[in-house]
Amino acid sequence: MRYWLMKSEPEECSIDDLARAPKKSTAWFGVRNYLARNYMRDQMQLGDRVLFYHSSCEVPGIAGIAEVSKLAYPDETQFDKKSKYFDPKATRENPRWVHVDVKLVKKTRLVPLSELRTYPQLAKMQLLQRGNRLSITPVDPAEWKFIEKIL
């Protein structure tokens, strides 16, 4: 099993939206970064655990735990000319973008980014590195274990 941190803007999809979703599962669509896409396409496996992270909001932070519930498949928004995620270079024969589905495991207290920065055990966490903007990052098993204790 691998561990991930996946960022979502709460206005787009929040932990509460995931809790209300049918079967508490939803597609993690709209990723338009090749490294994040490759993580989903090449490395994520069913049952991998995910830190659900609220970003681009008043108090960014970890809001819950989810798990990968469906392996990577083409993101339909890349074909929709009305979508902000439309990609004119993508074709059905050669899709450029994929997504996975994630399922809610549990909503947790919000652990703000500012709090995460205070723990020496998380000093090397990719989320906390200067300049990190990726929407999906791997989480080291030791970091995961520590975060589980503070949730």
| CATH number, position 88 | 3.10.590.10
**Residue 121 belongs to some domain of the structure:** yes
Identify the pLDDT of residue 116. Answer: 98
CB 52 within 8 A of CB 18: yes
Between β-strands 49-54 and 25-27, what pairing exists: parallel, antiparallel or unpaired? unpaired
Identify the pLDDT of residue 48. Answer: 98
**Residue 149 belongs to some domain of the structure:** no
**Residue 75 belongs to some domain of the structure:** yes
**Residue 106 belongs to some domain of the structure:** yes
In the chain, how many domains are there?
A: 1
**Residue 87 belongs to some domain of the structure:** yes
d(CA 14, CA 133): 19
Identify the pLDDT of residue 12. Answer: 93
**Residue 68 belongs to some domain of the structure:** yes
In order along its 151 residues, the chain shows pLDDT tens digits of 999 999 999 999 999 999 999 899 999 999 999 999 999 999 999 999 999 999 999 999 999 999 999 999 999 999 999 999 999 999 999 999 999 999 999 999 999 999 999 999 999 999 999 998 999 999 999 999 999 999 9
**Residue 30 belongs to some domain of the structure:** yes
Identify the pLDDT of residue 100. Answer: 98
Identify the pLDDT of residue 75. Answer: 98
**Residue 36 belongs to some domain of the structure:** yes
Identify the pLDDT of residue 127. Answer: 98
| Structural domain of 79 | 3-132
Work out whether the CA dihedral 138, 144, 148, 151 comes out positive or negative.
Answer: negative
Task: Give the pTM.
Answer: 0.95
